[in-house]
Amino acid sequence: MPELVFTSWWMYAVTVAVILVAQLVYVVFGFGSGLIAVGTLALVFPEIRDVVVILLLVVLPAELGVAITSWRRIRWREAGGLRSSPPKPN
């Protein structure tokens, strides 16, 4: 039988609380959820691999939604001038 990630109910409760706080920080400031969640959950879980997989499964769908929405809102004609090009000689 495969080993479970959550060995007790308190690990599950702590994980949910940490992810909620991390996502609240992300909503307010726009970044930092991974920094808070990985650092805090690494104290709870014996394997950092479990932390990374849990966060990937929770955060990836939300990040894909943000990326798709942002991609559609880009004004490509205006952003075209932002590409890097060599300086023009005087």
pLDDT above 70 covers a percentage of the chain that reads 87
What's 81's DSSP letter?
G
Q: How far apart are CA 62 and CA 26, in angstroms?
A: 11
Does residue 58 register a pLDDT over 80? yes
Give the model's pLDDT for residue 3: 80
Give the model's pLDDT for residue 74: 83
Selected residue with higher pLDDT from 57 and 76:
57
What's 85's DSSP letter?
-
| pLDDT, mean of residues 16-25 | 94
pTM value > 0.85: no
Give the model's pLDDT for residue 79: 76
Q: With cut-offs at 50, 70 and 90, classify the pLDDT of residue 1.
A: low
Return the number of other C-beta atoms located less than 10 Å from residue 58's C-beta.
Answer: 16
CA-to-CA dists, residue 26 to 15, 56, 69, angstroms: 16, 15, 17
